[in-house]
Chain A
Amino acid sequence: DTGVSQNPRHKITKRGQNVTFRCDPISEHNRLYWYRQTLGQGPEFLTYFQNEAQLEKSRLLSDRFSAERPKGSFSTLEIQRTEQGDSAMYLCASSPPRQGPTYEQYFGPGTRLTVT
């Protein structure tokens, strides 16, 4: 078990370009979350999948953002027409079906996006 993995780890793009990030959750984790973290702040929730269904979306997830989890395994987060304000760390987390009291989310290393 290698934990949650995210690719790429770093992405530099020019304003207006589209970018796509990938998250591979821990195997058998059916819940997957995306968060965004700007410098000096805590992570902010973006969206949540249970298996392939997208069950929650934050108001932060504008029309330029789309997330998918087509087969209930890995997920992608796409940002279209990037803006400088999109520069942030994008964190993915996963959690198993409800087991035990903690229900903690296991986070990946994040993808740092810089929009120039």
Chain B
Amino acid sequence: AQKITQTQPGMFVQEKEAVTLDCTYDTSDQSYGLFWYKQPSSGEMIFLIYQGSYDEQNATEGRYSLNFQKARKSANLVISASQLGDSAMYFCAMREWETSGSRLTFGEGTQLTVNP
């Protein structure tokens, strides 16, 4: 079974609008972390936001927020007020503290295109 599932291969949004990128995960660990990374065409992975499994509040970082629904095992990324520079590949990733230590497991990504 896939540990990280991103069901949207591509998403389009108008500049200045909000967009939600979906991520569901599968783990039996009680302690885990969820990450979102952005990968522009240049190739470098840029860390955006983190949510710990024990965090009671949804994480926020500027225009990025993470809609964490633990019972549903989902960790959707919300980007508010989209900008043209947000066009990139977005990856959801998980670290399972108990079973896989330090490694990150990534989903297949969502290509976001912001239209002017």
Q: B107–A42 contact, CB under 8 A?
A: yes
Q: B50–A101 contact, CB under 8 A?
A: yes
Q: A102–B50 contact, CB under 8 A?
A: yes
Q: A104–B107 contact, CB under 8 A?
A: no
Please encode chain A, from 74 to 116, with 1 for each CB lying within 8 Å of some chain B CB and 0 for all others: 0000000000000001010101000001111111111010000
User: How many residues on B have C-beta within 8 angstroms of the other chain's C-beta atoms?
Assistant: 25
Interface: A29 (CB within 8 A): no
Please encode chain A, from 6 to 26, with 1 for each CB lying within 8 Å of some chain B CB and 0 for all others: 000000000000000000000
A residues contacting B by CB (< 8 A) are 31, 33, 35, 40-45, 48, 50, 55-56, 58, 89, 91, 93, 95, 101-110, 112
Minimum-distance CB pairs A-B, first 5: A42-B106, A107-B45, A45-B103, A102-B50, A104-B47
